[in-house]
């Protein structure tokens, strides 16, 4: 029998505590199962334009191509269409020259009970499954390459003056090469798309603790993630998109028990003051409604 997917989602973007403008963008089309998050960059209003236009172009191209299922080729073409849009705008208007954006996106494949993940830059996709968190994307950045080459540690990368230098961008050149990978789903999986404004201030363990505590209400979970990132710094725009796989497979099948257990924040990482502040925000928000 054919697989199937039942999902629900929530998304939220926030300017943070330091930046004057929000250069992040997010979008969703549940009818085609397409979800995207972008983090723009560029002078004047270039970053805002690049992220907004990329998200809109990406979703529009997938909608046009949708005939029941989206392939890796469709995703690559959607990224290319967005790249042409942004690059074309930057070449026609000198005020927008140099603008670009990251992109990370999810595309559900109900027929196979899976999702495609595609990305350009350092915006991330995480999967939370059975009480654990796993990053499904590798940053296209200088420090990520240094980590892979054994030149620096992850702790050193977080302090590096090169941590914001990315090696792939949508819209900065005529062509761009996205990464695409398909991942099988399980009932209870929760997928998170985010810009680096989230993972700059929150560790993977922080993200896991917050999401598992509030996952019964995705809107609330998204709000707590953003508030926690702001509490611990808020130095950049923050965008999160949560997609939960409510059911994957035969609707008559017994639940497979992959939903994570509730967390009380006891596994939060960092120094004592940081953990105290994180625990405080979790208590303030409670369990949501």
Of 226, 205, 225, nearest in space to 215 by CA: 225
With respect to residue 280, please indicate whether it lies within any of the assigned structural domains. no
Report pLDDT for 282. Answer: 65
Report pLDDT for 241. Answer: 98
CATH number of the domain to which 148 belongs: 3.60.40.10
With respect to residue 133, please indicate whether it lies within any of the assigned structural domains. yes
58: containing domain: 5-200+234-249
pLDDT per residue as tens, the chain (289 positions): 456 899 999 999 999 999 999 999 999 999 999 999 999 998 667 999 999 999 999 999 999 999 989 999 999 999 999 999 999 999 999 999 999 999 999 999 999 999 999 999 999 999 999 999 999 999 998 988 888 889 988 888 878 888 888 999 999 999 999 999 999 999 999 999 999 999 999 999 999 999 999 999 999 999 999 999 999 999 999 999 999 999 998 544 434 433 333 333 334 445 556 666 666 666 667 656 5
With respect to residue 90, please indicate whether it lies within any of the assigned structural domains. yes
With respect to residue 13, please indicate whether it lies within any of the assigned structural domains. yes
With respect to residue 30, please indicate whether it lies within any of the assigned structural domains. yes
With respect to residue 286, please indicate whether it lies within any of the assigned structural domains. no
Beta-strand relationship, 114-120 and 124-129: unpaired
Report pLDDT for 255. Answer: 40
With respect to residue 273, please indicate whether it lies within any of the assigned structural domains. no
Whole-angstrom CA distances from 104 to 151, 182, 231, 245 are: 26, 14, 25, 18
Report pLDDT for 43. Answer: 66
Whole-angstrom CA distances from 170 to 52, 101, 122, 175, 223 are: 12, 5, 11, 8, 28
pLDDT digits over 55-76, tens only? 999 999 999 999 989 999 999 9
What count of Cα atoms within 13 Å lies in the side-chain half-sphere of residue 16? 23
Tell me how many domains the chain contains: 1
Residue 108 · residue 5 · CB < 8 Å = yes
With respect to residue 206, please indicate whether it lies within any of the assigned structural domains. no
Of 83, 40, 43, nearest in space to 61 by CA: 83
- Per-chain mean pLDDT for the chain: 89
Report pLDDT for 275. Answer: 60
Q: pTM value?
A: 0.88
Chain centroid to CA 133? 14
């Amino acid at each position: 029998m054919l697989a199937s997917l039942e999902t629900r989602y929530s998304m939220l973007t926030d300017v943070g505590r330091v930046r004057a403008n929000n250069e992040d963008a997010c979008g969703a089309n549940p009818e085609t199962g397409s979800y995207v998050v972008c983090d723009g960059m560029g002078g004047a209003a270039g970053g805002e334009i690049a992220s907004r236009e990329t998200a809109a172009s990406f979703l529009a191209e997938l909608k046009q191509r949708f005939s029941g299922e989206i392939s890796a080729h469709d995703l690559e073409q959607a990224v290319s269409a967005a790249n042409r849009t942004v690059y074309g705008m930057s070449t026609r208007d000198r005020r927008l020259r140099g603008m670009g954006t990251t992109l990370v996106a999810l595309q559900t494949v109900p027929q196979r009970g899976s999702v495609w993940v595609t990305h350009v830059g350092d915006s991330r996709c995480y999967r939370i499954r059975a009480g654990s968190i796993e990053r499904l994307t590798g940053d296209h950045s200088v420090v990520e390459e240094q980590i892979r080459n054994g030149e620096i540690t992850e702790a050193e990368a977080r302090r590096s003056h090169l941590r914001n230098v990315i090696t792939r961008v949508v819209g900065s050149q005529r062509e761009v090469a996205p990464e695409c990978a398909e991942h099988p789903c399980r009932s209870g999986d929760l997928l998170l798309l985010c810009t680096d404004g989230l993972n700059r201030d929150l560790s993977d363990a922080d993200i896991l603790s917050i999401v598992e505590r509030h996952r019964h209400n995705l809107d609330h979970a998204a709000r707590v993630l953003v508030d926690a990132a702001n509490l611990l710094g808020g130095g950049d725009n923050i965008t999160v998109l949560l997609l939960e796989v409510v059911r994957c497979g035969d609707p008559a099948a017994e639940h497979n028990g992959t939903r994570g257990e509730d967390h009380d924040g006891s596994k939060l990482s960092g120094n004592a003051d940081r953990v105290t502040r994180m625990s405080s925000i979790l208590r303030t928000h409670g369990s949501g409604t």
